């Protein structure tokens, strides 16, 4: 049975009650009960800091703690949206959080809407960043990876700009989320792009102002040659003047790939160096020189591959050794792995709330008509170049051929010449049309039917913050059990997911103020061994279940 606390629910619906108290009952073999094994890590990652940010009516049956726990457990159990709760066992999921059942789909969506209307997701993220990097872990945030993730939009209500989606090799309507990850690949922060902002603009006017609210950029550098932080990104944000502006204005160093490398350094300059990349030791052929780009001096490090190709890296970090610079740059794939994991396991590209919002009408964008004409001109120029590549060799051919073959060659020349003239006339018409248009305009100057808007962002920000917490919790548990697995890199996350999906028994004892959570046996003996070691670590945390005074005691049936 699911809904059993009828009196409490009726009182709350009439406005006479309060949040349903967390009350556990003895339960056997609860589906997904193993998710409670991640509760200590969720709390350590700051899941309940939502109470410091959001206000919540006391008359609701579901408390803020219950809603937040439900959303976190849904993410860990790979329940990817509220509608999928219909396919689950609401009573069993409810018993995991100490209630009679989890919220119904419509109820949960109303509670999410109540949270999003408060517009506090960014503030919550800021508070979490301070808690994540307040101690020794602050070293992980000395290097931050920044990259954009394109989220495809398949609907028809929003009028979004077209973006190139590399994973599908197509230009599609999409929005862009800009993520910041630390040196270990853990998510730090996310900001939402509205239209077609460049990565440079997002870093300077969105990411840096948000990071300055945290301890990551509010601290003072220890010396003139010591950066406050080092940003690592790909060629999308490449601009030497931008790099120097970050250093001079914010004391932020950068590491990125160099664009337009045409020369090659002598092979005898490269030396074999041992480099640590994503906790793996790699031998690389490295060389370093100083270089001037855009009138500014930079350090340039190159890696020579097995085929002789030289990959160039530039940095404004004045003291970091070349091998560490190379290790950080080539470790950028930790962020790509994070994107891939969240797409496959958390399905984080899905919309949370449906609907659109207006964008800032004074925001300046590229004129869509101007860009369309520019694209057409580019295609025409390519056609003309291909025809000219066939036309001009015919002139030389005509000089070398006998007179009998000239008519055939001349006819071919005339055919190509007519096509070239036709396309050049089209080119001139498009150029004349484009000269009448402004290259850039404000959103308010667009036609009403074509005017850009954006998807609702606050609900997506909130759910992304919860997914950050869940991913960090899952990663920390994976690191805890890694020493007890022979193939840790391949198995640790798989074992954590197996623990989450496993059944568990709940035995509350209100006299001794304890809640015993017993995990059922896993698929293999070595996994059970790792789970037993995890039980020892979890019991040392002496975790109290939120909203109660019950200390959780973890056990496993396998001996």
Confidence check: pLDDT of 119 > 60: yes
> What integer pLDDT is reported at residue 396 of this predicted model?
64
Please give the average per-residue pLDDT across 389-401, as a whole number.
Answer: 69
Give residue 409's pLDDT band: very low, low, confident or very high (50, 70, 90).
Answer: low
Average pLDDT, the chain: 89
Q: What is the pLDDT of residue 371?
A: 86
pLDDT tens per residue, range 22-63: 889 899 999 999 999 999 999 999 999 999 999 998 888 888
* pLDDT tens digits, one per residue of 192-204: 988 888 899 999 9
> For residue 247, which of 180, 185, 303, 314 has the smallest C-alpha distance?
314
pLDDT above 80: residue 398: no
Please check whether residue 539 is in contact with residue 513, taking contact to mean a CB–CB distance below 8 angstroms: no
Which residues are within 8 A (CB) of 334 and not within 5 positions of it... i.e. 6 or more apart?
Answer: 145, 181, 184, 185, 278
- Give the pairing of strands 162-165 and 170-181: antiparallel
Per-residue confidence (pLDDT) for residue 17, from 0 to 100? 65
pLDDT confidence bin for 12, thresholds 50/70/90: confident
Q: Give the list of residues 6+ apart from residue 346 with CB closer than 8 angstroms, or none.
A: 75, 78, 80, 467, 470, 471
Taking Cα atoms as reference points, which of 93, 25, 99, 35 lies closest to residue 502? 35
At 61-103, the pLDDT tens digits run: 888 999 999 999 999 999 988 888 888 888 889 899 998 888 9
In this predicted structure, the answer to whether residue 16 has a pLDDT above a threshold of 60 is yes
pLDDT at 263 over 80: yes
Supply 337's token pair.
Answer: 């792995």
Whole-angstrom Cα distance, residue 297 to residue 316? Answer: 9
417 φ/ψ angles, rounded to the nearest 5 degrees: -65, -40
pLDDT at 264: 92
29 φ, ψ to 5°? 55, 55
CA-nearest of 247, 273, 264 to 326 is 273
Q: Which pLDDT score is estimated for 425?
A: 92
Q: Give the three-state DSSP class for 29.
A: strand
Mean pLDDT, range 499-514, rounded to an integer: 94
Percent of the chain whose pLDDT exceeds 70: 95
Question: What is the structure's pLDDT at 402?
Answer: 61
Query: Residue 27: CA atoms inside 13 Å, Cβ hemisphere, count?
Result: 25
Of residues 227, 232, 226, the one with CA closest to residue 250: 227
The pair phi, psi for residue 519, each rounded to 5°, is -85, 135
pLDDT tens-digit map of 343-386: 999 888 887 878 888 888 888 888 888 888 998 999 999 999 98
The dihedrals phi and psi of 195, each to the nearest 5 degrees, come to: -125, -105
Classify 312 as helix, strand or coil: strand
Query: Which pTM value belongs to this model?
Result: 0.88
Tokens of 122: 């960014």
For 139, which DSSP code?
G
Pairing of strands 453-455, 514-519: unpaired
Least confident of 58-62, 498-502, 550-554: 58-62
**Across residues 96-112, what is the average pLDDT?**
91
Confidence band (pLDDT; 50, 70, 90) for 259? very high
Rounded average pLDDT over 426-446: 89
- What is the per-residue pLDDT for 407? 66
Confidence band, pLDDT 50/70/90 cuts, at residue 400: low
Q: How many CB atoms lie within 10 A of CB 492?
A: 22
pLDDT for 511 equals 92
| CA 200-176-474 angle, 5° bins | 105
């Amino acid at each position: 049975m699911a809904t059993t606390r009828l009196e409490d629910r009726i009182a709350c619906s009439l406005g006479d009650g309060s949040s349903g108290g967390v009350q556990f009952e003895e339960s056997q073999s609860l589906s997904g009960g193993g998710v409670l094994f991640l509760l200590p890590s969720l709390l350590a990652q700051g899941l309940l800091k939502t109470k410091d940010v959001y206000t919540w009516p006391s008359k609701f049956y579901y408390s803020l703690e219950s809603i937040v726990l439900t959303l976190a457990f849904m993410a860990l159990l790979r329940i990817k949206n509220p509608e999928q709760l219909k396919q689950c066992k609401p009573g069993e999921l409810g018993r995991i959080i100490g209630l009679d059942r989890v919220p119904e789909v419509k109820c949960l969506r109303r509670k999410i809407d109540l949270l999003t209307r408060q517009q506090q997701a960014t503030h919550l993220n800021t508070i979490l960043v301070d808690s994540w990097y307040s101690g020794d872990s602050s070293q992980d945030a000395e290097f931050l990876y920044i990259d954009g993730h394109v989220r495809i939009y398949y609907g028809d209500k929003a009028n979004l700009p077209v973006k190139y989606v590399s994973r599908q090799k197509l230009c599609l309507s999409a929005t862009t989320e800009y993520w910041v990850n630390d040196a270990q690949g853990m998510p730090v922060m996310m900001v939402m792009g509205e239209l077609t902002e460049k990565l440079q603009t997002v870093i300077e006017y969105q990411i840096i102002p948000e990071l300055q609210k945290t301890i990551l950029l509010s601290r003072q550098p220890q010396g003139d040659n010591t950066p406050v932080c080092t940003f690592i990104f790909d060629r999308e944000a490449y601009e030497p003047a931008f790099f120097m502006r970050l250093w001079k204005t914010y004391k932020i160093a950068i590491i990125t790939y160099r664009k337009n490398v045409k020369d090659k350094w002598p092979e005898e300059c490269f030396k074999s160096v041992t480099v640590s990349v994503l906790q793996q030791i790699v031998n690389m052929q490295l060389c370093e020189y100083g270089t001037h780009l855009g009138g500014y001096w930079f350090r340039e490090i190159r890696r020579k591959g097995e085929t002789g190709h030289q990959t160039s890296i530039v940095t404004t970090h004045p003291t970091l050794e070349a091998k560490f610079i190379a290790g950080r740059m080539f470790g950028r794939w930790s962020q790509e792995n994070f994107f891939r994991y969240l797409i496959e396991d958390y399905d984080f590209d899905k919309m949370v709330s449906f609907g659109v919002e207006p964008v800032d009408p004074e925001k300046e964008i590229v004129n869509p008509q101007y860009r369309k004409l520019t694209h057409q001109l580019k295609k025409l120029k390519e056609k003309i170049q291909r025809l000219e590549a066939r036309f001009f060799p015919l002139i030389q051919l005509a000089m070398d051929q006998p007179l009998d073959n000239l008519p055939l060659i001349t006819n071919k020349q005339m055919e190509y010449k007519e096509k070239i003239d036709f396309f050049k006339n089209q080119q001139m018409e498009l150029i004349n049309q484009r000269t009448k248009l402004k290259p850039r305009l404000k959103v308010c100057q667009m036609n009403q039917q074509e005017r850009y808007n954006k998807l609702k962002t606050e609900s997506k920000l909130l759910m992304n913050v919860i997914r950050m917490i869940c991913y960090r919790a899952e990663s920390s548990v994976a690191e805890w059990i890694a020493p007890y697995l022979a193939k840790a890199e391949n198995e640790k996350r798989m074992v954590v997911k197996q623990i989450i999906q496993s059944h568990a028994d709940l035995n509350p004892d209100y006299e001794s103020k304890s809640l015993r959570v017993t995990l059922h046996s896993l698929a293999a003996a070595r996994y059970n061994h790792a789970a037993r070691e995890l039980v020892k670590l979890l019991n040392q945390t002496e975790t109290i279940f939120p909203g109660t005074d019950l200390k959780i005691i973890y056990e496993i049936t396998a001996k």
